[in-house]
Structure 1
């Protein structure tokens, strides 16, 4: 059973679900606690959001994934994600070294790094398993707002195989760990 979802830009959810990326760089939404984003769950559903999605903060190769919300008011959860590794990155140089592994531009990473005057970001390496049938829910007022984690009713998603095989995921993990240990 899964009862939580992580809100992320729709474009990044698409990239994760298709295997184009496996890494998210997170800082937190404006409604997060003073401490900011924390990895509260090790397994969760991806919650694509169109709120604040900014094409200027996406690397050019991810721009073709931009789209308008296909079902406003409906929440279409495409995949189950499991945290394989998490790093709290407290060096801007290390954070910027993660750019090739995910969808954000260097400028977006730097902006997130410095957000609220607290210099750090979390880097989450994820094993993503697309759902055999996307889970469709009606978006409720409790789901809205600039927060990272959204509680869901208990659901039993039917997830398929991971989009990246374990060899590819291990290769990405090694690259990410090398970047954050510079």
Structure 2
């Protein structure tokens, strides 16, 4: 089955793969159509990127995880992610309420919320399964640029158990739902 990958900051990709987080706040790029937001893929690989990773937009406790690209020109895919829930958050209050569940600072959430004069963000709750065998691909010209989705074609991956138990993921989902009201 062909797989795609979602570009996400290296630090956030590692936090998801390690089970420290299950939530991403995204502005767009996942896929925006004239009808609004849709998740283009319900199952995808995490594509750690170093482009635009901003230390000022990460909470202090996660800044020690920032690093330079250890293998420029190669992508080390850490995990397979499955979308559990997607919420379009159309109030800044609601978006800021999600700060405890993810790695971005309140200022970063607010900037994303107002980006392009479109006041909303998307909250993606993910079940993340670290890969049991590394998948390393050479970065091709088709992977470059500020795109969120990268089609990988037919790649073989084997994912292990979820980084977070189903019980813990349910707790995180319940907290997300509570915060969104």
Is 1:62 aligned with 2:62?
Answer: yes
TM-score (normalised: structure 2): 0.94
The equivalent of 1:93 in structure 2 is 93
Q: CA deviation at 1:11?
A: 0.4
The equivalent of 2:130 in structure 1 is 130
After superposition, the CA RMSD in angstroms is 1.5
The equivalent of 1:173 in structure 2 is 173
Gapped runs of 5+ residues in structure 1?
Answer: none
The equivalent of 2:141 in structure 1 is 141
TM-score (normalised: structure 1): 0.94
Gapped runs of 5+ residues in structure 2?
Answer: none
2: CA distance between counterparts of 1:156 and 1:97?
A: 38
The equivalent of 1:114 in structure 2 is 114
Q: CA deviation at 1:61?
A: 1.1
2: CA distance between counterparts of 1:180 and 1:2?
A: 34
- The count of corresponding residues between Structure 1 and Structure 2 is 179
Is 1:13 aligned with 2:16?
Answer: no
1:25-45 C-alpha deviation (Å, 9 max, x unpaired): 00135xx76768641110000
1: CA distance between counterparts of 2:72 and 2:38?
A: 28
The equivalent of 2:157 in structure 1 is 157
1:7-35 C-alpha deviation (Å, 9 max, x unpaired): 00000001000011000000135xx7676
Would the aligned equivalents of 2:32 and 2:38 in 1 still touch at CA under 8 Å? Answer: no
